[in-house]
Structure 1
Amino acid sequence: MSATVYQAFSQSARQWPENSFLCIVPETAQVYGIPSGEIGYAQMHERIEALKNAYQAAGYGHGHRAGLLLENRPAFFLHWFALNALGVSVVPINADLRSAELEYLVGHSEISIAVALPSHQAVLQAAAKAVSSPLAIIGPDDAPVPAAAPAPLASQPVGTATECALLYTSGTTGRPKGCILTNEYFLHTGNWYANVGGMATLRPGVERMLTPLPLVHMNAMACSTMGMVITGGCLIPLDRFHPRTWWDTVRESRATVVHYLGVMPAILMKAAPTDQDSRHNVRFGFGAGIDRSLHAPFEQRFGLPLLEAWAMTETGSGAVVIANHEPRYIGTSCFGKEEPDVLVKLVGDDGQPAGTNEPGELLVKHAGANPRFGFFSGYLKDEAATQEAWQDGWFHTGDIVMRNEHGHLVFIDRKKNVIRRSGENISAVEVESVLLQHPAVKAAAVAAVPDEVRGDEVLACIVCTTMPDTAAMADLAQDIVKWSLARLAYYKVPGYVAFVEALPLTATNKIQRGELKAKAPTLVGTKACIDTCAMKKRQDVA
């Protein structure tokens, strides 16, 4: 039985040496400037071993952390698995992060080395310098530089409880939280996927799983990667979702499973129907958040079931639910019914259990002696937040769910103050903290407004030090957005900037989130609200 991710991969490399582990399609290869084609398990394992030996010779070991800013490239897997063999935890870094975000991540995670693309090394080095954090930075093909300090846990064995990765959530009341994820977390996720069955059955040594989702998120890093590692399948990581060429890529890559975000079906349905729509090898899609009105039409048109699921970075597969059996109650936002190893409780605002078809906060835990089995180990440097999330022995998800008359779970809304744009969770507080640093901004509050394609869009209510006249609002809004694009990932930047006289505040001067949420949609289209959505594009790193 494997005790680490590295061991699980090694076992599959022995069992399926000739199978392809990775397929890099030509489109992704062109974007990344790397060779296209397939990389087998045995070939990958040989490269991992060489890299593992290089890291070990350089002094890296149990208790060190290493940042990986490598996008969805093969190098990500090489460095992750090689470092995992030594007990080094990896911290995936989103290439869209900017200075303020990188400074926080580098300082908080205390990574001692980062493997980064050449185009991002300068900004990463500047972030480390800004927080006085010593950080060695190498490229994906460079030899590891000597470790600055001995491995903190060198005397302890590497095993299932060893930290495998540190993934950052959006954060709902402050800075992003670092979720500590062990080898057990990743192994259980892979084994769950390999054995969940039903409409989501993975055939050992056969599946080809295509994902456009980023490896900085739990879905791609844990579900997709580990599902394929455990079953000897082929992972097809795309650089991102390309709507115009999606079905061509699906067909050419011979994908049998696809992972999706709710926004993707909405975009694909906008394309004109063709006689090629259902010509593919995909057996099912795995994802969450599809518009309930599009679910049935999508399946009918494209000829594959979209299996809605629920999980969080914190829960992993310790408490995952998926609609992988009929009836799936398509068109109701149903995500299935929990298996016996997952316990679920729905609680109303009064703390009492919610009845049938009554909304309540979703509380979960794993069945058996260890209610936290398969979950994250905690939030790095924030034991208080960890304990709060686990109050009364249940993990409080912050999601509002109801159970229908058939016992299946239906997603209603998010209780947490998070904006979800195109599958990215955006912390309002994080965006506000950056906006407040702009010289023209006296106060700022951020809320979600509906967007047909992206689900949510970011709207910022701005109180200025000197209120601009109507003619000057557009220029100031553009300046604020340009300024923000240099400090935040593009998707977090406001798509609308509304100039207001005052923010809705409580008696203690805290933002009244409920009132703000209700007010935000009414501002769109008014003279004092500037549409800046067209400015929200990926920014090149200087």
Structure 2
Amino acid sequence: MASTVHQAFYEAAVRWAKQPFLCILPETAGIYGVEAGEFGYAETFERVEALRQAYAAAGYGHGHRVGILLENRPAFFLHWFALNGLGVSVVPINPDMRAAELEYLIGHSEIALAVALPHRHDDLKAAAERAGRPFAAMADGELPPPAAFPAPQADTAPGELTECALLYTSGTTGRPKGCILPNRYFLHAGKWYAEIGGLAQLHPGKERMITPLPLVHMNAMAYSAMAMVLTGGCLIPLDRFHPRSWWASVRESRATVVHYLGVMPAMLMKAEAGPADRQHSVRFGFGAGVDRTLHAPFEERFGFPLLEAWAMTETGAGAVIIANEEPRHIGSSCFGKEGEDVLVRIVKDDGTESGAEEQGELLVRHAGDDPRYGFLAGYLKDPAATDEAWAGGWFHTGDIVRRDADGYLHFVDRKKNVIRRSGENIAAVEVEAVLQQHPLVKSVAVAAVPDAVRGDEVMALVIAQDAPAGRPAMEAAALELVNWSLSQLAYYKAPGYVAFVDSLPLTTTNKIQRGELKALAPTLVDAANCVNTCAMKKRQGDHK
């Protein structure tokens, strides 16, 4: 059995030689300026092997790290697999990163080389100079420059515990942490997906999986890629999610599986329904965060299940949970029950166990002798954070969940996103999901602001499709949004303040930067672009 990603791909290339590994659609090829078409396992491995030899000749080996800034181009896989064959860890670099972020990543990860798009070479070199690191940049197709220093573990053969990749967390509440992910992490993710079955059954040699998710994320890099490698399937990476051409891409690629983020169904449901909605070959979608009010309507309209799953970069498939069996409790934020290989605790703030229907923080570990099997090996250069995450022998996820009376798990929100108003816990993501459905809203983020009586109050920061001009238009828009919220949510969850903004604080992976949002929201309470709607929040019947 393979002990490295490179070995797993070699075995797939032998078994599935003529099967397509990658399908690059014409739209994606045109955006990237690469060749469109399908690329088989055997021919892809030949290119990987040529690259591996070139890197070896340049002195790269076990213990080195190399950055990859190639977006979702097919070259990403070639360099990843080739470097992995030498025991070199890859550090995917988000293309949205800019000067300070690149300086931190290069300095922290100690990469000495980046395979990057040519127009980003100067940015990378300048960041490396500020970080005081020896550094070189190369483009795909160029010969690797000589390694800046000898491979730290050149005398040791790479294996399943060798670092395969260093993935950085989103940094929504602070500086990103570097997650050390060994080969075992990726191999187990693929094996888990290949064997999970149920509504997520993968048929060896037959699946075609389309993903618009970035390869700097664990979903595309670990689950999508490795599931296809271990089952001889075809991966269809897109440059990103294009709502208008999505279904055309799905049909043209003959995709049987789609990977999604929660925002995607919401955007697709805004399009006018038509007879072509079910003209596709998709059997299921795999993802997380679908708006619970849209879950059933989406499945009814498009004809396939959206299987909600839970995992983190840190947990990998060591503690993944998925609603791949009926009943899935659609419309309730349910992500299923843990399997036999996962142990779960739900703990309240006082450290006691939560009862049925009680919210608490999700703690997980792998069942068996090794509770960290399939997880990250640790946070780079931060053993204190690693120990804190594993306090008491359980991984503390920071996610608030509840278990219903039948044992099913339901996602509430990230612990740091929960708004505490008059004793009620409010999930920011739930309010955001409702507001996002309103046609006035282009994008929205919800945060807590201090309230002398209630503790916290809810503020919605809204980027409007068409910014309201003048105070009367702003007030009318705010009232419309709050009335919409009151028709969909309990009164206390509706925004007490609506601030119209031009932009939201986002991470380089386009997640809401919750730390900055938390600091920004209170400063907008009395601003000219903010409308106080607290008076609209009354218990049902109070306003009659």
What TM-score do the two structures reach when normalised by structure 1? 0.81
Shift of 1:209: 0.1
For 1:494 and 1:410, locate their aligned partners in 2 and report how far apart those are by CA, in whole Å. Answer: 24
Q: How does 1:290-301 map to 2 (within 5 A)?
A: 290-301=290-301
Matches of residues 15-54 of structure 1 in structure 2 within 5 Å?
15-54=15-54
The answer as to 2:393 corresponding to 1:393 is: yes
Q: Distance in 1 between matches of 2:226 and 2:517?
A: 42
Partner of 2:101: 101
Letter in 1 for 2:528: K
| Alpha carbons 2:87, 2:163 under 8 Å: kept | yes
**Quick one: which of 445, 448, 461 aligns to 1:457?**
445
Q: Which has the higher contact order (CA 8 A, sep 6+)?
A: 1
Give the aligned partner of residue 129 of structure 2.
129
Aligned to 2:413: 413
The answer on 1:527 being equivalent to 2:528 is: yes
CA pair 280-520 structure 1, distance change in 2 beyond 3 A: farther
Question: 2:360 maps to what in 1?
Answer: 360
Q: 1:109-143 deviations in whole A, cap 9, x for unaligned?
A: 00011000012111111111111111110001111
C-alpha offsets along residues 299-350 of structure 1, whole Å, 9 cap, x if unaligned? 0000010000000000000000000000000000000000011000000111
Q: Which residue of 2 aligns with 1:206?
A: 206
Aligned mates of 1:120, 1:460 — CA distance in 2: 38
CA distance in 2, matches of 1:248, 1:80: 29
Shift of 1:460: 12
| Residue pair 2:94, 2:509 contacting (<8 A) in 1 also | no
3-state SS, counterpart of residue 181 of structure 2: strand
What is the match of residue 433 of structure 1?
A: none
Unaligned residue ranges in structure 1 (runs of 5+): 420-447, 462-470, 472-479, 496-509, 531-542
Query: Displacement of 1:511 after TM fit?
Result: 10
User: 2:321 corresponds to which letter in structure 1?
Assistant: V
Q: 1:390-435, CA deviations, whole angstroms, 9 ceiling, x for partnerless residues? A: 000000000000001110100011113699xxxxxxxxxxxxxxxx
Distance 2:4 2:524 in 1: 48
Distance change >3 Å, CA 41–CA 494, structure 1 → 2: closer
SS in 1 for 2:216: coil
The count of aligned residue pairs is 465
> Equivalent residue for 2:375?
375
Question: How far off is 1:520 after superposition?
Answer: 7.8
Identity %: 64
Aligned equivalents of 1:378 and 1:67: distance in 2? 19
Q: 1:258 to 1:315 in 2, by over 3 A?
A: same
1:492 and 1:325 map into 2 onto residues whose CA distance is: 29
Distance in 1 between residues matched to 2:212 and 2:511, nearest whole Å: 19
Alpha-carbon distance between aligned partners in 2 of 1:251 and 1:37, rounded to the nearest angstrom: 15
- Cα displacement (A) at 1:174: 2.8
* Amino acid in the other structure paired with 1:452: Q
Which amino acid is the alignment partner of residue 181 of structure 1? Answer: L
User: Structure 1 residues 372 and 132, CA, compared in 2 at 3 Å: closer, same or farther?
Assistant: same
Whole-angstrom distance in 2 between the partners of 1:316 and 1:511: 27
For residue 170 of structure 1, report the CA deviation from its aligned partner: 2.1
Residues 217-236 of structure 1 aligned to structure 2 (within 5 Å): 217-236=217-236
What secondary structure, in the 3-state scheme, does the structure 2 residue paired with 1:243 have? coil
Q: How do residues 67-146 of structure 1 correspond to structure 2 at under 5 angstroms?
A: 67-146=67-146
Equivalent residue, structure 2, for 1:250? 250
- Name the CA shift for 1:418/1:149 in 2 (closer, same or farther; >3 Å): farther
Q: What do residues 469-514 of structure 1 show as CA deviations (whole Å, max 9, x unaligned)? A: xx9xxxxxxxx989x99xx74947999xxxxxxxxxxxxxx9995x
The alpha-carbon deviation at position 258 of structure 1 amounts to 0.2
| Cα 1:118–1:529 shift into 2, 3 Å | farther
Query: In 2 relative to 1, CA 200–522 (structure 1 residues): closer, same or farther, beyond 3 Å?
Result: farther
Q: Which runs of 5+ in 2 are unaligned?
A: 420-430, 450-469, 471-500, 532-544
Q: Distance between the aligned counterparts of 2:516 and 2:287, measured in 1?
A: 33
Name the residue aligned to 2:154. Answer: 154
- RMSD of Structure 2 on Structure 1 (CA): 2.8
TM-score (norm 2): 0.81
Change beyond 3 A, Cα 1:118–1:27: same
